[in-house]
Structure formats: structure tokens, C-alpha cells
Structure 1
């Protein structure tokens, strides 16, 4: 296995240098440590047949992957994230997952995400080619960003298995049966997800997959003020009626989903000290709002407080 540590990097530019190193070895992202002076991280890489294992240790930091980090020509990968120590918060494909030890979340390299890990966090990632994963988990899009809790179904057993494989790979484990072991891991993971997210048979797998596709399109275009049900239908080459059918199972209209997600992203930045120097209007307009009055009204409806009061409540200003 290959190992990298932030200790080997210059102290003054450690976070910037770590961004470059991590982006070169895995995915392009931006690390924003809670404290630049004390930032510490480690990355260990290994392989089990077609599965790439990556273990990331870090103190508190935010890992952000945006549209500018994603190349359309890059191979599409799915990553199973296992929180083996500490906790973290992953926002991905319109979902928020609060991860504790033993929990899994599936992440799509073709979609943005935000991942905040707390101090002494250890996350094991298993990266798999999209085409290969779909032979085991036919519609992985429907699971992206959704939390698979440790106590559900086979998850606890799967967590222990993945941790054991990771430890053995670090110790130099090699076998002529790597491919077979990898297939076993993928089969177990697919069963864990099938048991953990068993849903009503009334909602077909096709509709769930299409719903995930629509959500991914919305998340990728959330900042565009022209985003609307009609533009989504046109962009995905489906009829507006079929779009309504896809969303009907969730009990939430497409337009309501867009508004809720914009408000949630605005609220994150309003309460974030790093955005304290930006006006509320700047934040709102950056997330697709084009009316300050509409933003204020809908924000109050969603969060009880008006945006200015909400900021004061969280930042003490």
C-alpha cells in the first residue's frame, strides 16, 4: 500500500499542498481545515482486485467537490464510504448523512459533494468502476448520499469485513484470489444495501433510478436561476408529465424540492463564519434566487427566522 502524510509537506502551505496531493491520487477536491496551523491528514491506498481501497485520517476539515472539479471525460466511479472512527457529515445528491462509526454512504464521482469530518476521523473508501458496480447493484444512483446505518441488516458484519480487509492490505496481503475476494465484497455490499433500503414494491426500480437521475440534474444546476420543471424535463429529454410521475412517489413537487434545496444551501452559508463577509443577497443570488423579497419570505417560512435573524442567532452578530 502507498501512504502519504501531511507531515511531509511544508507547514506554511500544508493545506494547499495536501489538496494537490489528494487530487492527484484520488479525486479533485478542496480541503478547508478548521485550523490551518494544526491541519493533519494521512492517506493510504491499496487494491483488492478491481476495488481500490483508500483510508483517510484527518482532524476537523471540510472536503468540497464542485462542478469545476468534475471532468466529463473522467471515468465514472462510485465510492462506498465507511466511517471507521469519529464522525462526519456528507451532503450529496440532495441528501444529508450524519455518519458515525460503522455507517456507510455511497458517493458518485460525477456529482458534487461536501464532506465535513470531525477531529480524529478515519474513513475507508472503496472505489469501484460504475459499470462493474451496476452488475451487483443495478441502480446505484438511488442510494447516493443516503445513510446506511451500522445496526441495519448486514451492515455491522460488512463494516467489520471491510475494516479487516483494509488492515490486511496495509500489512501487505496479496493473493491469487483477489478477484474472488473483491466479488464477494461487492455481493455483500449489494445485499447490505438491498436489506437496508428495502422499499415498497409499488415504487419500481426504474422510477427510483429515474428519480435519482432527476435529483442529480437538479443538484448540478441548482445555482442556475432558470432551473425549473420545464427546463429539467427538456434537459433530460422527458415529458413534464413523466417528470411529475417520477416525483409523485416522494410526496414533494419538483418546484418545492428545488426551493427547499436552495434554501438549505443558503442556510449553510448564512450560518458559516467563512461567509460572514458576504451579504445575504449575495448568498441568495448565488443559489439561483433573483428576488431578495422572495428569498426572505421563503427563508422565514422554512426556518422560522428571517435570514438576518438566523445569521445573528448562529454567529452572534
Structure 2
């Protein structure tokens, strides 16, 4: 297990790995690159793996990971989200934030590490899609899942002249699958909802640190009723208030993780991230990350 941890760290990301049952551990890992995009195929017996805030490096913050499950069952926990993957499914998780894998049985998966900026150009509200399951059984999800595996299998035969185009096409297909609207809705309504949600999330990101940001102010800014705003956001699996709170806490955790964060008082960080009440900030932070802001900063130092 110690050798496995070292191999995963050197190839992909620094994780704590443990076998809940103890006993012998077996695993296989292979990595290959397509320009700046890294493909890592992982096969192992059941175990658990965790990424902790104190181990997240500046390099990790530059990346988003895509996981394509090929065999077995995997659960991913990140923030307040939980996703269970079946073979063929895809999940996106943010390497800049703590996450936890639970694998009860032997599994095979392909992990694709991409630059955050490259995917964010195609998905401006990338935060909405992390730790979400993209079904790989049909539609755009199946196309993306199959395409990722085929690109990995053909990496040795992709010429340098075509590498950049293949990389761009891969990210375009993934973005298409990730943002694919709900199929049960009419095409016109799906498109309207999708564009409206994009406007809402863009406004939230632009005004995230404004302590007057509320559902009412967002609804007024995009020209819809507050009731419809809440209904629209509920289709994403969370309320807008939860989205605002979680994004502010995520930003605060990143600022607390910075090397020079010790110079900034925790109270200042709370106010800068849009919190009016430092006591509320501390309670919400501990509920999300399992420790106080001060303990989190000490662990990240």
C-alpha cells in the first residue's frame, strides 16, 4: 500500500490510501500523455483514497480530473456531494478541493487530468458539474465515455501533427456531455433553461463576494421571479443559497491554504469572501470541512 501511494502521488495526485479490510493489496497503474492532457488507467482491489486540503499543491489547483469507470463500482464524495458510478459512467472532480473515493470491489477506471483553464473555457460554470455523475449508457455521455477510452487506446498511433486537434475535440465532446440538458424536457425549453442557468451562475460568480448577494437580488438581475429562480436551481440538485454558501466556503478554504494566508486574519478572509458574521462563517466552515478555519489553516501550512 505504501508503494501504491507513492505511485499514485508521482503519477497523478497525492492521496491517502488504505485497505479497509487489511491484508494484501494489488494494483496496476499506467499513464500516458496527449500534450498537456494525462491519461491514467488504474486497476486495483477495493480500497479507499482521500485527498486532503493540507496536501493539495499549487499544481493540483490547476487541474480538473475526469474519471471513466470501466469495471466495478466507485463512490466519490466531494464537498456536500456524493456520486455513485457504474461501468461506463463519467464523473468530474476538482483536484483543488478535498475528495474521497470508496471502492468496495475490484475496479478499473481511466482518469483524465486536464488543465482547469482548458475546460473552463468550454464550461464557464465548471463548479456546478464537479462530483456529478454523467451517465455513460446513452446519448452524449456514452459518446464521451467511449471517446475517452478510444483516445487512450490509440495514443501511440496519434501523430504529433494531429495531437492538438484530438485534444481539443476530446474536451469539446466532454463539455457537450457534461452540459447535456435533461432529456425529458422539450428541446426548446431545455435550451431556454440552460441559457438562463448560465446567466444566473455567471452573475453569482461575478458578485460572489458581495455580502448583499441573495436569491432576491439574483432574480432581479436576470429578470425572473424569485419563485421561478428557486425552482430552476432545484433542477441542479441544490438551492441557490446552498450554491452561494458553498462557493464562498470553497474560496475561503483556498485563501486559508495559500502559503501567505497566515498573514491574513481569519476575520478578514471571512469578510472578503462575503460573510457578514464571523461566527456563522466558522460554524458553516466546520460543518463543510470538519474543522475550524484556524485548524484548517494550520493543517495546510
1:188 to 168, 173, 180: 173
Do the aligned residues in 2 keep the contact of 1:93 with 1:144 (CA within 8 Å)? no
**Partner of residue 211, structure 2:** 239
Give the counterpart of 2:159 among 157, 165, 175: 175
Give, in whole Å, the separation in 2 of the partners of 1:120 and 1:242.
45
Corresponding residue for residue 54 of structure 1: 40
Seen in structure 2, the aligned counterparts of structure 1 residues 288 and 45 have a Cα distance that, compared at 3 Å, is closer
Aligned to 2:268: none
CA distance in 2, matches of 1:201, 1:187: 17
What runs of 5+ residues in structure 1 fail to find an aligned partner? 1-14, 214-232, 260-282, 290-317
Separation in structure 2 between the aligned mates of residue 210 and residue 91 of structure 1, nearest angstrom: 27
Which residue of the partner structure matches residue 280 of structure 2?
A: none
Listed one character per residue, the Cα deviations across residues 2-53 of structure 1 (whole Å, up to 9, x for unaligned) are: xxxxxxxxxxxxx122212211221111111133322111111001233211
Compared CA separation, residues 109 and 206, structure 1 to 2 (3 A): farther
Structure 2 SS opposite 1:36: coil
CA 52–85 in structure 1, closer or farther in 2 if over 3 Å, else same: same
Whether 1:108 and 2:87 are equivalent positions in the alignment is no
CA–CA distance in structure 1, aligned partners of residues 132 and 23 of structure 2: 33
Please report how far the alpha carbon of residue 80 of structure 1 lies from its aligned counterpart in structure 2 after TM superposition.
1.1
Give 1:244 shift. Answer: 7.0
Give me the whole-angstrom Cα distance separating, in 2, the residues matched to 1:209 and 1:23. 34
Residue segments in structure 2 that go unaligned for 5+ positions in a row: 183-189, 219-228, 247-285, 293-301
> Does 1:88 pair with 2:74?
yes
* Contact kept in structure 2, 1:244 and 1:253, CA below 8 Å: no
| 3-state SS in 1 of match to 2:149 | helix
TM-score, with structure 1 as normaliser: 0.62
CA RMSD of aligned residues (A): 3.3
State the match for 1:134 in structure 2. Answer: 120
Greater helix share, structure number:
2
